[in-house]
A and B are shown apart, each in its own frame.
Chain A
Amino acid sequence: MNEIKIKSKNLNVYYGEKQALFDVNLDLNEKEVTALIGPSGCGKSTFIRCINRMNDVIDICKVSGNIEIDGVEINDKNLDVVSLRERVGMVFQKPNPFPKSIYDNISYGPKIHGKGETKSELDEIVENSLKKAALWEEVKDRLDEPGTGLSGGQQQRLCIARAISVNPEVILMDEPCSALDPIATAKIEELIDELKKTYTIVIVTHSMAQAVRVSQKTGFFHLGKLIEVGKTEKIFKNPDNKMTQDYITGRFG
C-alpha cells in the first residue's frame, strides 16, 4: 500500500446550524484512487471540498478538526489557499470550461501561478496537459477554437487537462462522468487509471460499478458519517458493515 498523502482527523463540518460531517477520520493514499460513495447529501462532496478548502467560499460553513497533506495542516489560517489549490486540483460534475479558446483554458492556470513565462514554455505545458488528458490528438489543430464548442466528454477532459496544467499533487473529482455518455465515461475512467501513476485522486461517484472499476480504496458515507472504508474489492464483495451492504446492493438509498 502506498504512503498516506491526505489524512483527516476528527473532521467536522457545519453549514450554519446543520452539521454535514461528523468526526471523519480518513486516510487517502498517495498515487491511488479513492472513491467516495453514499446517498445524496451524505457528505462525500463536502468532504472533498475540505481538501482544497472550497468550503471557505461559503460564509456559513465552519470546519473543525484536521486535514493534513503530507503531514501539514491545511486548515491553518496562515496557509496560502491559492497555492493549496495549485497543489489540489478539482474537476466538477458538469464540464465547466472558461468561455475562452482551448489553448487559453489550459494556459490560464500556469499563467496566474507564474509557471511558463515564455510562449514556448506555455505551448509545452498546453501540449503536455492535453496529452496527459488524452485530448491532444483530437484538438491539436484547433487550439484557438472555444473550449465550449467541444463535446461534453471532450470538455470534461479539457477540464482535467486544465486541472493538471499547474502540476498538482492531488486531483479531486466530484462525479466527473455523471453528465457523460458511456464512451466518454470509459475514456475518463481510462484516463483516471493513467493519471493515478502521477497524482493522488479522490473521486465522488454514484456509480457503484465505476467505483469498482477506477478505485483501489472506497469509503462509504451516510448522514455525514464515514461508515466504512477499505480496499475497494473488499467493500464490494464482502463489506463488514450492514449499512454498506444494504447501500451497495440497492436495499436503501
Chain B
Amino acid sequence: MSNEHTVKSYEEELRYLIDSVIKMGSLTESQLVDSMDAIIKVDKDSIDKIIKSDDEINKFRSKIDTQIMTLLVKRAPMAIDLRETISSLKISQDLERIGDLSKSNAKKVKPLPLDLPEELLGNLKRLGELVIKQLNDVLDSYVNKNYDKAKEVWEKDEQVDDLTYIAMESVIDFLSKDKKNLDFSTHLIFATKNLERAGDHITNIAESICFLIKGEYLKGSRPKGKVIEK
C-alpha cells in the first residue's frame, strides 16, 4: 500500500489483518515441515504436537474471519483495500486446508514401521521439500507483494505434480513386491496425495496474491504435470 489512510485506525485494522495472515502462514509452514519430518524419520512422538498445532491454525482462521467481517461492515473497503480483504479471506481458507492435510499426514505416521527403506522415502522426501519451498515462496511473495514470484510458484506446481507421480510410482513398486506392505503403503500413497493437494492450495494462494496485486486473475490454465493427466 502506498499512502496511509486518512483514518489511522483503518490503516491499523488492515495492517493487523495482513499480519494475522502472515502469522497463520508461518504456523502452517512450520506444521508442514514438522509433519514431513515426522514421516521421514517415522517420529511417532511428534504426532500429538502436530495435531495440536492444527488447532492454533484453525483459531487463526476464525480470528481472520472476524477481522474481515468487522472491516467489511466498518469500512466498506474499496479497490486495493477490498482486494486485500478478499484475498486475506481466500488465503486463510487455503492455509487452513494445508494445515488439515499436514495433520492428516502426521496421523499417517502411526501405522508406519520404524525401518522404512530409503528407496521408498526418497521421492516422498523430495516432494515434501518442494511443497515446503513452494509454500515458503508464496508466503514471501505475499509479504513483499511480489507478483512475479507468486506467478512463478503458480507455474512451478507442474513440478509438484510430476514429483507426486514419481513418488506414487515408487510406493506402488514397493507394494507390488510384497503384499504384506499393503497397509502402510496405502498410508504413504495418501500422504503423497495430500502433499499434491497442499500444492494445489499453494497455487490458489498464488492466484489470490496475483489478483490482490493487479486486480485481475491469472489468465489461461496453469501448466499441469503428469499426475493430473493420469
Q: CB within 8 Å of B: which residues of A?
A: 208-209, 236-239, 242, 244-246, 248-253
Contact = CB atoms under 8 A, between A and B. Distances in A.
A246 B7 CA distance: 12
Most chain B CB inside 10 Å of its own CB: which residue of A238, A248, A250: A250
Q: Point out which of A208, A242, A249 has the most chain B C-beta atoms below 10 A from its C-beta.
A: A249
Contacts of B214: 238
Contacts of A236: 78-79, 82
Contacts of B77: 249
Contacts, number: 44
A221 B216 CA distance: 25
Chain B: interface secondary structure?
A: loop
Given A246-B2, A251-B3, A251-B5, 7 more contacts: A237-B78, A237-B82, A238-B83, A245-B80, A249-B5, A249-B79, A249-B80
> Which 4 A/B pairs are nearest by Cβ-Cβ distance?
A238-B215, A251-B3, A248-B78, A245-B79
A253 B76 CA distance: 17
A38 to B, nearest CB: 14
Give the size range of B's interface with the partner. Answer: 10 to 19
Most chain B beta carbons < 10 A, residue from A209, A237, A252: A237
Given A237-B215, A238-B215, A238-B216, A250 B79 contact: no
Interface in B89-121: none
> Counting chain A CB atoms within 10 Å of each CB, which of B75, B80, B82, B216 scores highest?
B80
B206 to A, nearest CB: 18
A251 B78 contact: no
Interface string B124-153: 000000000000000000000000000000
B10 interface: yes
28 contacts: A208-B78, A209-B76, A236-B78, A236-B79, A236-B82, A237-B78, A237-B82, A237-B83, A238-B83, A238-B214, A238-B215, A238-B216, A242-B2, A244-B79, A245-B80, A246-B2, A246-B3, A248-B78, A249-B5, A249-B77, A249-B78, A249-B80, A250-B5, A251-B4, A251-B5, A251-B6, A252-B6, A253-B6
Contacts of A250: 5-7, 10, 75
B81 interface: yes
A253 B78 CA distance: 15
B79 A238 contact: yes
**Interface of A: prevailing SS:** helix
Nearest to B211: A238
Interface string B1-33: 011111100100000000000000000000000
Contacts of A246: 2-3
Contacts of B82: 236-237
Contacts of A251: 2-6
Give the residue among B4, B6, B75 with the most A Cβ atoms within 10 A: B6
Interface string B58-92: 00000000000000000111111111000000000
A253 B7 CA distance: 11
A235 to B, nearest CB: 8
A236 B82 CA distance: 9
Nearest to B3: A251
Contact of A248 (B3, B4, B79, B215): B79
Contacts of B3: 246, 251-252
Nearest to A234: B215
A1 to B, nearest CB: 20
Contact of B79 (A209, A239, A253): A239
Contacts of A253: 6
Contacts of B10: 250
Contacts of A252: 3, 6
A89 to B, nearest CB: 30
Contacts of B75: 250
Nearest to A238: B215
A238 B7 CA distance: 21
A237 B76 CA distance: 12
Given A208-B76, A209-B76, A238-B215, A249 B81 contact: yes
Contacts of B78: 208, 236-237, 248-249
Contacts of B216: 238
A237 B78 CA distance: 6
Contacts of A208: 76, 78
